[in-house]
Amino acid sequence: MRRSGSVHRQLGIAALLALLALVGCASTHAPPVGPHNIILFIGDGMGVSHVTAARVESDSLNMERLTTGGLLATHPVGSFVTDSAASGTAIATGVSTKNGVISMSPTGAPLKTVLEHAEESGMATGLVVTCSITHATPAVFVAHVPSRDDDALIAEHIAAGGVDVLFGGGLGYFLPASVSGSLRKDDRNLLYEMEGEMTILRTEEEFDELLGRDRSDGERVAGLFYRAHPPVEYERAPSLARLTAGALDILAGDEDGFFLMVEGS
């Protein structure tokens, strides 16, 4: 078991280092290497077998137009079947951890994420999801907590995390317990804490208005459109495609480039 864990940690670290090489190093005078912007698309629960099934059904996939591919081991420490917390941590940090753990090592040490590396390099950052923004996959890029089930604590990490664009659900975890619709057990108002630094959106109409007006460079936006998880695709608005396009429109204004994670949750 130790050897297996070491191997897949090395695979994860190698994959992360390859990604970080694209980000470049802000501490040197050498010109940046690789693309100016990085977009990471995640299909929730998707693996090689799912891609194969989709290819059989549709004959060809847009992702097959990419000229480079690779594999990342995402199985957890101490178990055979992974969950979104452990697999997401492997993707975001290059290190394997236990199921249920958000970007912390098996011994409880915080693990630096690719989003945090991007922020250090001066890049703008964004998370776009079709679940609560506090759910395991988005959480692993910005939070460091021992349990994926602690949405209220994850929300606190996200509120203080400095991400420039946040689109998804989970509004209730940012509202104090005294307010209708809150999912917190305390009276901390994270939206109030965020409003001084971010434009807060709660409705599709506010989203449309934001994209339809001139915005200052560097404007940060949090769109929390549902109390918890958004509904199924045909009942959900704005759609994932529109949220992604909106995030790209906002982040593209950063001259240092951006890192964006988009999850079909």
Q: Is 84 a catalytic residue?
A: yes
79, 84, 105, 147: which one is catalytic?
84
Helix, strand, or coil (residue 172): helix
Helix, strand, or coil (residue 156): helix
Identity of residue 190: L
Q: What is the length of the chain?
A: 265
Preceding omega of 35 cis (within 30 degrees of 0): no
Token digits of residue 78: 């101490």
Residue ranges of the alpha helices (H) in the chain? 2-23, 48-58, 84-93, 114-120, 136-139, 151-159, 190-195, 204-212, 240-251
Q: Which residues are catalytic?
A: 84
